[in-house]
Structures are given as structure tokens and as C-alpha cells.
Amino acid sequence: MASLKGKEGFTEYYKAQLPLLDYDPDPVLLINPAYQDELTFTSEPLAWYPGAWLWPKAFPPGTMLPGLVEGHFYVLNAASLKPVLALNPQPGEIILDACAAPGGKTAAIAHLMQGQGELDAFDTSAARLHRLRTTVDQLGYSNIRIANRKAETLFKRSPAHYDGILLDAPCSSEKHVWHSPKHLAAWSASRIKRLKQQQIALLNGLWLALKPGGRIVYVTCALNREENEGVMADFKQRHPEAAISQQNRITPDATLFDPLFYARIEKPS
């Protein structure tokens, strides 16, 4: 497997899943509650997520909707909201979005916390942090802290600190690779192994930053098992005390969802 490289290798490795990478569902709108009364268009609500709307039928997909630049809503794929529901952040809690940029899941967490408690939104890329800061500034909440922090060593300054942690881990992101000639040419199966090692390091480090009784939601947009079920199996072997629940794969479709995997991991009290 490690010898598979480039487009030919990618096609061979993912041959059974390639059709899943060509779906192009419409995004949804995560509405900022502070601006809901100022929106100049309406749409149908996303039935299973409060405060999110389906893409408005009056506008072709990709249209620059009125209010977007001003931060009245955030455009994202519906799958991204599922792990936020699994995390279930509450007002007054101390929550970490560990790999937060560009900030869609941060926004969803912030709205559920209603400005109460503490929300840390960390990343390690200067360019991505700039995008994250723009997103957070538009939210209008004063309880969000942005910083350049390495998630895997965060426990050294914040041991057993967080009630809940969202880890949207760096991953293979096969849909992006498949549609990028540059990344497709550079792809290799060995990259999956490197990413899995990074994901394991991130998850084990963040476990030490989690309070007893807290929970981590692990997320990737990868299709391969190594970075998903494989990481969960490795983590459970290292931490038999952990309870892994809500382990789900979202299958891509033409209507709503991009590929996503997420699992909730609970730490005993």
C-alpha cells in the first residue's frame, strides 16, 4: 500500500469510494442570532439544527448572499454541524475548539454557549488564524479567546482544564485532494500513516487537557478507516477507561452532506 502514489495510486486506493467524492451538495447557513431580524431573505430551517437554514431557493448556489460579508451568517456544509451537536456545549462551560480555523464550528459552538463561559479557539497556522479572527470578530461574543497553540502540548499549561473539546483533526480530506490536480499528483498512501500518527498525538495530548467527566469529539473529513475507526481503536487501547459513543460516518450525498466521521469520547469522573 505504501508504494501507491499520485492520481493512479489514489484511484487504486479509493476505487470503491470515488463516486462519493464527486457530490456537490448545497451549503447551509448558520445564522448569527444577533442579526436574524436584519436578514433580507428567508429560507427553510434545517430541521435537526436550530439556527441553521437550507440554502435559499431564490438564489443560485454560490451567490454572494446579502449579509454574508457583514457576518450575519456563516456558510458551511451541514455535516459540520453534526459533531457540534455531539459535543453539546452548554452556557457557562469551558470549551476548546482545538483546530479551529476557519471558524465554522467555532461559530456554531459560540451560538450554543450564548456568550456565557469560556471558548478557546486555537490553531497553529498564521494564515488560518487570520481567517478565524475575522469570523470570531463578526460573531460579537466577548468570551472567545483566539491563540496560536499546539493542541498536543496544551495540557502542559492547561491540565484537566476543559469541560469539552472539539478536535477537527488534520486529515486526508480526500474530496479536496480529488479535485486539486496539485494535491492529487503529490498524494501517497504513506501520507495516511503520517496523518494517523499526528491525529493520535493530538488526541492523546488533549485527553490530558480534559477535565474528569468531560468529553472530546474527534472529527475528520477523511474516508479511509485508518484515520477514523483506526484512530479510535488505538485510543481505546491506550485508554481503556474512555467511553466512545456516537461513532458515526456521514455518507456524502448530492443534497446535503460532505463526507465526515465523528466520535464522542467521554472521560470518567
Q: What positions carry a catalytic annotation?
A: 221
Euclidean distance between CA atoms 187 and 183, whole angstroms? 6
The pLDDT assigned to 235 comes to 98
Predicted confidence (pLDDT) per residue in 126-149, tens digit = 888 999 999 999 999 999 999 999
The pLDDT assigned to 1 comes to 60
The pLDDT assigned to 2 comes to 62
Q: What pTM, to 2 d.p., does this model score?
A: 0.96
In the chain, the percentage of residues whose pLDDT exceeds 90 is: 96
The pLDDT assigned to 127 comes to 87
194 within 8 A of 244, measured Cβ to Cβ: no
Q: Going from the N-terminus, what domains does the chain have, and what CATH number goes with each? A: 6-24+78-266 (3.40.50.150), 26-76 (no CATH)
The pLDDT assigned to 3 comes to 82
Mean pLDDT (10-residue bins), the chain, 269 residues: 88 96 97 95 95 96 94 97 98 97 97 98 92 94 96 95 98 98 96 97 98 98 98 98 96 97 98
The pLDDT assigned to 126 comes to 87
Euclidean distance between CA atoms 135 and 102, whole angstroms? 7
The pLDDT assigned to 181 comes to 97
The pLDDT assigned to 258 comes to 98
